Amino acid sequence: TLGPQLVVGNNSFVAKIFDPHYYDSIDKYDSYCRIDCVADAGEEYTREAAAYMELSANSLCGKGVLQYYGSWTCDMPTETTSGLWMRPVLMVLMECVNGIYMTEIHPEKLSKKGRLSILYRALEANTEVQKHGVNQRDFHLRNFMCEGKDKTRGYE
């Protein structure tokens, strides 16, 4: 997949890696147009890291928002025809949640009360995040997870 890559470590953390190597450099709408994939990776990383730093500073991480462990720039050795060079690769480290994305939940298998409970929790988390100046402008099921052994236990 193109864009940030996710790597899970020890089932306790996730590294979200913003490596320009995994970004598209050709415009999908105009194949003659080149895209600055280094700038794209940098912009996505900057927004993500800034959002987590803001949420962490306001003690929201771990309360409906993934725990934030920091962000780094790592030098990645890269072999080219002119020799070995180091290129910067950006990374955000966050909590790994044992859960499922809301896109994987079958709402027809839940009671109305369960569905409303999930929606309430998602809206509540989104509202708290926005109150602290972070608006991802993407309230979509893929951005929310249910966690726990049964993944939907407590929502029925």
Q: List, for residues 46-69, the tens digit of each pLDDT value.
A: 999 999 999 998 888 878 888 999
Distance CA 129, CA 51 (A): 9
Domain extent for 82 = 1-96
- CB count within 10 Å of CB 94 equals 20
Residue range 1-13: mean pLDDT, rounded:
88
Query: Of 49, 67, 96, which residue constitutes the final position of a domain?
Result: 96
pLDDT tens per residue, range 30-46: 777 778 888 899 999 99
Same domain, 24 and 92: yes
Query: Of 46, 67, 96, which residue constitutes the final position of a domain?
Result: 96
Query: Of 96, 122, 139, which residue constitutes the final position of a domain?
Result: 96
Total domains in the chain come to: 2
Cα 83 to Cα 19, 75, 79, 135: the distances in Å are 20, 15, 6, 43
- The residues facing 88 across adjacent strands are 75
Beta strands in 60-103 (DSSP E): 68-80, 83-95, 99-101
